[in-house]
Structure 1
């Protein structure tokens, strides 16, 4: 995967280099002979393309770094790259013990962790135990209206409200990127 990721950025770096070369060539022509209106429009289009590439790159590293000082405008430096990559290494689980078995495959580790949390948050089978009916009284009881509100199905608006209320630079998902 690391080789694939390195090659993924290669095309972008080549595109950036080509755009900068074309802009530089047009700048040299401006000094020598001037540019026609169509050439000026072409130069502005090249600058727009370059601006999009730079802003996408900054957004990518902002998501990777999740450091507050990056959000406040610090430059995309080698120190920042080291922080982002160190965070990825620190958050990686290379192996996991499941009793006497050692899990090293990412699929096995994922299945074990997923199974653990599914069992942790699933409803326990009925054990026959219950609280005494007089354990809570009066205002401590959940009213029928409160119970109906608690058991209502999720609405799309409520889900979007919860998503928008999340910190956009925390808790990375399966793809490694946060919300």
Structure 2
């Protein structure tokens, strides 16, 4: 039986536009392997310099956890990103309650985010990045090829007297020769450790105890009740001000969408 390839339908491309795509590589296992390693996954890796996609087969006996969607703030500066995703929000199924409607809109937008096709500019940017990466890999390969020569290894990483002398000089420069405590000079190693430990322990302080000198339940006795303004329904302006006060780079909620998405798409999703 075949282990399904996650995240990619094809393993080879001719790199043309439009491309020719084919699945040339597969991973096959028998029944014994399936029962022994239930958490076996088959995933692709990046192919910066080859037509073929490197494949990674992971085998484990632990039960896998489901992947959680997380909205990335880096998607927002991309051209036509919101124009591609927001129509899915408005086309979500209609629910009778507001919470269900919001969940349906988030689910529809999440699916559109995963399936969004690259624009022409993004395709060109990806090609440029691949070319630059290929050049960087060639330069790094040439560098390590030169460093791997016998002479470079012998002269550059030899255990010579010069390296020992250099390490000795560095040790002398970093050594604390003596410590002065109350006009007394301490040069012994153990005594210096004890003096430094006592000093930092004294400036850190000693743990203390706290006591309540008042009755907590009596703090709000005979106080006025909240006014009607505080218990009134939230307005659109209040919701938007609360959204603007949130950190745009904070962790997203359980639905995977963070404050940056709601701020960027507020005019279309505020209802």
Question: Is the structural similarity TM-score above 0.5?
Answer: no
Instruction: Normalising by structure 1, report the TM-score.
Output: 0.26
Q: Which structure is higher in helix share?
A: 1
